[in-house]
A = this chain, B = another copy of it.
Amino acid sequence: MSTPRIKPATLKGFRDHLPGPMLAREGLIDTARSVYRSYGFSPIDTPALEYSEILLGKGGQESDKQLFRFTDQGNRDVAMRFDLTVPLARYAAQHLQEIGTPFKRYHIATVWRAEKPQKGRFREFMQCDFDTIGTTSNTADIETLFVIHDLMERLGFTDFTIRVNNRKLLNGLLETLALEDSTAEILRCLDKLGKIGRDRVAVEMQRVAGVTAAQAEGVLSLADCQGTSSEILDNLQPRISASEAGVEGIERLRELFQACARAGIPDNRVTLDPTIARGLDYYTGTIYETFLDALPGIGSVCSGGRYDDLAELFTSQALPGVGASLGLDRLLAAMQELHLTPAGTSTAAVLVTFFDANHSLDYLAIARRLRAEGIACEVFPDARPLGKQLKYADRKGFRLAVIAGADEFGENAWQIKDLREGEQHRVSDDNLAPTILDILD
């Protein structure tokens, strides 16, 4: 071909997924889906492209700047979605009659943000959200927590902590400190507690939110609450009892911890942290963050909360709800670091090697017979030296190789090579599938 060659390259901040990591991702998605479904959440999908006006201004100035936005062939101002929450709000407003409430959906899809790429941060990544819309009931908040818990457990994690709080508790405290008008600024400062420490947060609160040192101390005293969740709530109750919202927050948290105890969830897996606020202004009730005990530094791997009105920008119908988002790529990176992802890239257990070109139809036929028995297997496509084929099998991580040349065909037999144990068995044609099933078992 005389066409000049084009350099094969991906865009900055974008990446290809090779089979190994992709298998791990598919496994993670399967687990998430199966847990979501076990709670009655149904899947939806929305377009990657939306009218820009749908997306603009929903995630703050920073998010507007990060939009991949352009004018399409029909002169429309369009942009690629930067999260799955804004599309859900648009979707719920648009299809309310069809979907009805309560509406429980999950949405596992790609989003795009033109962020400055850095280690572990990409411009294209997957989100894995679930939400229950159309109810203010605390049972939905409790089940949201259960979903997060079951998800982590099913993914193979045993040592993780789900930190919960309730915005109403924070609002109640701010009310009693006469700070309700600076809620957003104060909570944004408070959210930095883990990162920059108490003293600097106190300074920032005074600077940004214009509070007094005493008021800042009043808010930060939340961090002094120690003990079990029930002790913390007992401690906070008298300080907040003048606030109706505060009392409601405490009651909802009490019920949540009762439900956890009743569900047999270990105490240390769900803890009350009265200082977490999650910066996003739209949270109004329960808040969730999930940390891996072994890798706290990577931040929360599953976060969410309750909001009063999902779609107020799109419809006059109030749509309260609660949900969370699994940080799929962050979790995948963590699972790789903790060796919780499978090795190898093979999706099949058995490689049928190709030894004798005259018998190609026999190799194809035995592979079909094995598949009919539920054994996934790949046929090597060419008659190459056996060593080369076994090297391929090793690299892809097949468990077994099935081998037959003139001798075996003459005697209606097969060799099974166990690539993990190094053993080799000779079996009759009839015994091939049963023997393989035995070994794989």
Contact = CB atoms under 8 A, between A and B. Distances in A.
Contacts of A345: 42
Interface stretch (A155-163, A376-384, A410-418, A421-429): A376-384
A409 interface: no
Interface string A80-109: 100000000011011100111010110000
Nearest to A108: B26
A99 B340 CA distance: 22
Residues of A contacting B: mostly: mixed
Interface stretch (A65-73, A196-204, A205-213, A287-295): A65-73
A90 B8 contact: yes
A74 B40 CA distance: 43
Interface string A1-21: 101011111111011111100
A51 B364 contact: no
Contacts of A110: 48, 110
A72 to B, nearest CB: 6
Given A6-B54, A47-B14, A135 B37 contact: no
A139 B381 CA distance: 6
Contact of A6 (B40, B53, B263): B53
A42 B346 contact: yes
Nearest to A322: B381
Contacts of A380: 102
A241 interface: no
Interface string A29-71: 0000100111111111111111101100000000001001011
Given A23-B42, A379-B139, A36 B347 contact: yes
Contacts of A263: 364-365, 368
Contact of A39 (B42, B354, B360, B378): B378
A325 interface: no
Interface of A: 1, 3, 5-12, 14-19, 22-23, 25-26, 33, 36-51, 53-54, 65, 68, 70-74, 76, 78, 80, 90-91, 93-95, 98-100, 102, 104-105, 110, 112, 114, 124, 132, 135, 137-140, 142-143, 146, 150, 255, 258-259, 262-263, 311-316, 345-348, 351, 354, 360-361, 363-365, 367-368, 371, 376-382, 392, 395-396
Given A143-B381, A255-B361, 8 more contacts: A1-B312, A11-B76, A39-B378, A40-B376, A48-B124, A49-B68, A70-B70, A102-B382
